[in-house]
Every structure is written in C-alpha cells, then in structure tokens.
Amino acid sequence: MRKLRIGIVDLVTKGPTRALYARVMHANLASIMPQVVGVWCEAEGHQVTFVCYTGFENLVAELPADVDLVFIGAFTEAALLAYALSNLFRSRGAVTVLGGPHARCYPEDARRYFDYVLGFTDRAVIREVLQDGARHRPLGVHRAAPRQPATLPGVRERWKFIEPTLRKAPFFKIVPMLGSLGCPYTCSFCIDSVVPYQPLDMQVLQDDLKFLRQQLRRPRVGWHDPNFGVRFDEVLDAIEAAAPPDSIDFIAESSLSLLSEPHVQRLRRNGFKALLPGIESWYDLGNKSKTGKVEGLGKVEQVSEHVNMILRHIPYVQTNFVLGLDSDRGPEPFELTKRFVDLTPGAFPGYSLLSAFGRAAPLNLEYQRADRVLPFPFHFLDNNHAMNVKPKNYSWRDFYDHVIGLTRYTFSGRAIVNRFRATTAPIPRWMNVVRAVSSEGFGRIRYHTELRRRLDADPQIQRYFDQETTEIPQFYVERVRRDLGPLWQWLPEGALYHDHHAYLKSEEAQPLEPVNVG
C-alpha cells in the first residue's frame, strides 16, 4: 500500500481562543484515542502529523499541505468545528475521518460531513480505513468494531504524541492514562453505562508509570477511566509495584461507593491529589454513592460526611451533579444541594444540565419518543450552554430560576471564602477561587441569567424552547459565528441543524448497521 500522509487532530476545544485559562489547561484535556490512532497508523507504515488543537494552532499550517487523510477526534460540543475542518481539508483534496464521542453519538449526522465515521475503534477498523482510503460522498461510511479493543498502546508508545502536547501546557502537565474501559454501573444518562467494564493490561500500566518517572521529574497522571478503581486492589497493587509511594501525582474520577476510608488512605499514600466523585442526584442512583435507598436530606448528610472524610486525606475534591433529572421536582433538590455546599465547604461542586447525546444511552430513546429532545446546535451541548432535554417536572423558567439560584449560592462571596478556608493545600485553594470567578462560576451565572431574561423577552427563544419551531434563534447562531471565528466560513451549509430524532428513527425503521471489522 502507498505510504499515506496522515494528519490527526485531537479537538479539545470548540473554536479558536486567546483565553488565559485555555492556554493553561487545554493541552491537559487531550484524549487518548487520537494518540492511539497515531500509533496504529505508524505501525501500518504511514507518516503521521499529530496536533492537539487547543484553540491556538493554525491547523492548515501545521498539517502537511498535501495531507492524504485527516482523522479528527471530537466531543459533540466541538462537532461544528470538526465539520468546518473536514470541509476545509476536503477542499484541499484530503479524505476525512471522524472518531470520538460525537462520532459514536451522532453517526447519521456526521456521515454528511466526513468520508468515514467510526464507532468503537480498534486496529482492524483503522487498517480497513487506511486500505480503503477512498472518498465517500455525499454520505460517509460508518465503521465500528464489535467492542472496545482489549489492549491499547500505553504511554511509552504514545509518548511521541504526548510530549509535544505537554509542551503546550505551561504549568500543569497532565499525562492521560487508562486502567480500564466501560463501567459496571448503569447510570441511565451515561455513555459508559452501556460499555462493558474491562480492565486493561496491568503490565502495560506498570511499564508506563516506570517510563514516566524516567521522563518527568514528578509526573502528574490523569486517569481517563470512566470510573477509576472498580478493581481497586488490582490497580493499586500495580501502581505500588511500579512506583514508590507518592512519587507521582494522580487525578481520578471515581464513584463514592469505591471510596471507603481505607481505600482513600491508600490513594493518599500513593499520591492521589484530586478525586472527582459523581453524586448526580439526591433521589436517584444511590448505588454509586453507597447510600442505597436513603434519599433527600438523609442522603445529603451521609454524602457530605463521606466527602468530608475524603477531604481529610485528598487535597482536591470535585463533586459532580446532574441538574434536571426526571427524579427531581420542585425547589427541594436545589435546596438540598445548597445544604450540601454548606456542609461540605471544601468540595468544588461541578454542575451539568441533563443532556441526551444522540445514541449515547438507551434512555435517550425514551426522551426522543416522548418528544422531549430539543435540536440545539451541537456547539451548545457541553452540559451547560444548553439542556437539550425538556425537564419533566419543571417549566423552563422555573428550572432556570433554580439553576441560577443554586449557581449564585455556590459561587457567592461567602461560599468562595468558605471553600478557600476549608482547603489547605495552596494550589487547590487558588484553583477553586479561579474556577469560581472565571467562566465556570461567574461566567455561567451571567450566561444562565441572560438566557432566563430571554425566556421572558426574546420571542425566538420562547418559541424554540416551547418546541413551536425548530428554527435556531439568532442568539445561538451569533454565538457559533463568534466562537468559530475565521472557520465559520467553512461551516457546511445546514450544519447548525441535525435530526434530533435520528436515533429513534433508526431503531424503529431501519437500524444503522455498523460494518463489523475483525
């Protein structure tokens, strides 16, 4: 086969930026699969140029002018940027391939703009794309492995792509690693709930940690496992065998049910500096919080005690919540979260608005069937800038009033000071302050407040939220135009719109048949 010039672009943001936070943090959000694809393409004998797009790069200048094939990895919030880039590179003669969460969630839509759209991706899928390497237009082809790969190239093999990415991060440098795929829990909104849990090779993990200690003075590793530590002893034994205690800083997302005090103590001994447990709801998903059937205030007190215990051992804890779940009704869920903020001043609360990402989870079929999904442009589907599921037990106005009330409470001067006082380590202390006063805290208060104002005053927004029209309000169109900057001109016509019932239609009429390879 001819040696191909391949470009791989990992989109960690949704448009060009000059923001300070982006400069500091974006390179640390790099995904693992684009690096893996780079390793596999080189193993097939091709020439790879890899770029982690943090919002500062000129991709046309960075990829070879005569690039044959461009792989783009994107979350849904970066889909419009991905579509614009695909259009641009196709105009220069390249064949384009989309992978990552957006390709898995919205394959029908992505096929309109890419030659290949990938579901689960293993080496056989990549090999087939490379061997075919043809244009597929107007509709791209969908390729998927039957399951996630059993093994993935580790840090040592990915280092040639990791290192230049880390160079873009001026202060913190976080190396992405994986110990497992999928999750044994079944949180109905989560893309990983339908992926069978599967630990990866512990030998590779150990080798990677040893390798990292040779490369970096004190490595900092971000575990990308959907739920770190499901096989707790196995993975901690592996870490302890590979690195002396507390010689590497680790960050992980883990459910509270895995974070008993002995486990947390062991994590501390091994250098874990930040944990992100998902609490999600005070009325649902009790199994992952280890609260069983306890609900409401009882759950708040129990979870708060648990998180305060973690904070005695681990400097940084972010607690994740989903707002607008069907189990929520009235002001109480929001008031309970405020109570949690008071009782757990050291934790940083991360809020997500309930979102249905295409075919990510079977529950989305129910939402589509009930006509509760709104077709917001993908650009806003980042769990905050739009909630694309109509709340079951709230009007939009009431819902946003509650969200604004909770966000204001969480990022009030008093709460910021309490959080500062309750956190002892210097970096986490200031990190909490910066997050509160930047786009995440104050920025969201401003955004939600503006949206709430428009729910009263902007007829386009009102009709859109009330599902009387699918015409996208100017408010959103202008934001996409602003965020894409010079790439707006490459956004294909019609790309702001997608069929928000595509999953349901494909299930009911003509199931999308991925071609299984291997």
Interface with ligand SF4: number of residues (CB under 6 A) = 11
With a CB cutoff of 8 Å and minimum separation 6, the contacts of 446 are none
Return the SS3 of 288.
helix
Binding mask 126-165 for ligand SF4 (x = CB under 6 A): ----------------------------------------
Residue selected from 121, 227, 368, 388 as contacting ligand SF4 according to rule CB under 6 A: 227
Binding mask 238-267 for ligand SF4 (x = CB under 6 A): -----------------x------------
Q: Which burial class, exposed, middle or buried, applies to 56 when counting CB atoms under 10 A from its CB (0-12, 13-18, 19+)?
A: middle
Q: What is the DSSP string of 145-193?
A: -SS--S----HHHHHHHHHHHHTT-SS---EEE-SEES-S---TT-GGG
To the nearest whole angstrom, how small is the minimum distance from the Cβ of residue 326 to ligand SF4?
16
To the nearest whole angstrom, how small is the minimum distance from the Cβ of residue 75 to ligand SF4?
15
Q: Cα separation of 444 and 458, whole Å?
A: 19
90/288 with CB nearer ligand SF4: 288
Q: Cα separation of 59 and 49, whole Å?
A: 11
187 binds ligand SF4 (CB under 6 A): yes
To the nearest whole angstrom, how small is the minimum distance from the Cβ of residue 101 to ligand SF4?
13
277 binds ligand SF4 (CB under 6 A): no
Least Cα distance to 256 among 347, 334, 361 occurs for 347
165 — phi, psi (to 5°)? -70, -45
Q: Which span sits near ligand SF4 by CB under 6 A: 18-26, 186-194, 438-446, 466-474?
A: 186-194
To the nearest whole angstrom, how small is the minimum distance from the Cβ of residue 190 to ligand SF4?
3
Q: Which span sits near ligand SF4 by CB under 6 A: 19-27, 189-197, 199-207, 290-298?
A: 189-197
Residue selected from 175, 183, 279, 373 as contacting ligand SF4 according to rule CB under 6 A: 183
Helix (H) / strand (E) containing 198: strand 198-199
Residue selected from 83, 185, 223, 476 as contacting ligand SF4 according to rule CB under 6 A: 185
Tokens (6 digits) for 282: 């005070």
Q: Which burial class, exposed, middle or buried, applies to 327 when counting CB atoms under 10 A from its CB (0-12, 13-18, 19+)?
A: middle
Q: Cα separation of 226 and 236, whole Å?
A: 17
428 binds ligand SF4 (CB under 6 A): no
Q: Cα separation of 96 and 85, whole Å?
A: 9
Binding mask 329-358 for ligand SF4 (x = CB under 6 A): ------------------------------
Residue selected from 102, 142, 288, 402 as contacting ligand SF4 according to rule CB under 6 A: 288
Residue selected from 222, 278, 349, 358 as contacting ligand SF4 according to rule CB under 6 A: 278
Q: Which burial class, exposed, middle or buried, applies to 401 when counting CB atoms under 10 A from its CB (0-12, 13-18, 19+)?
A: middle
To the nearest whole angstrom, how small is the minimum distance from the Cβ of residue 79 to ligand SF4?
21
Q: Compute the radius of gyration of the chain from its Cα atoms.
A: 22
Q: What are the DSSP E strand ranges found in 330-450?
A: 348-353
With a CB cutoff of 8 Å and minimum separation 6, the contacts of 157 are 39
Q: Which span sits near ligand SF4 by CB under 6 A: 159-167, 180-188, 236-244, 304-312?
A: 180-188
277/346 with CB nearer ligand SF4: 277
Helix (H) / strand (E) containing 317: strand 316-323
To the nearest whole angstrom, how small is the minimum distance from the Cβ of residue 461 to ligand SF4?
30
286 binds ligand SF4 (CB under 6 A): no
To the nearest whole angstrom, how small is the minimum distance from the Cβ of residue 263 to ligand SF4?
16
227/319 with CB nearer ligand SF4: 227
To the nearest whole angstrom, how small is the minimum distance from the Cβ of residue 192 to ligand SF4?
4
Binding mask 367-386 for ligand SF4 (x = CB under 6 A): --------------------
DSSP state of 100: S
Q: Cα separation of 202 and 215, whole Å?
A: 20
416 binds ligand SF4 (CB under 6 A): no
To the nearest whole angstrom, how small is the minimum distance from the Cβ of residue 378 to ligand SF4?
21
195/343 with CB nearer ligand SF4: 195
Confirm if 50 and 35 have CB atoms less than 8 A apart. yes
To the nearest whole angstrom, how small is the minimum distance from the Cβ of residue 23 to ligand SF4?
30
Q: Cα separation of 195 and 181, whole Å?
A: 8
Tokens (6 digits) for 20: 């300070």
Q: Cα separation of 322 and 303, whole Å?
A: 15
193 binds ligand SF4 (CB under 6 A): yes
Residues at the interface with ligand SF4 (CB under 6 A): 183, 185, 187, 190, 192-193, 226-227, 255, 278, 288
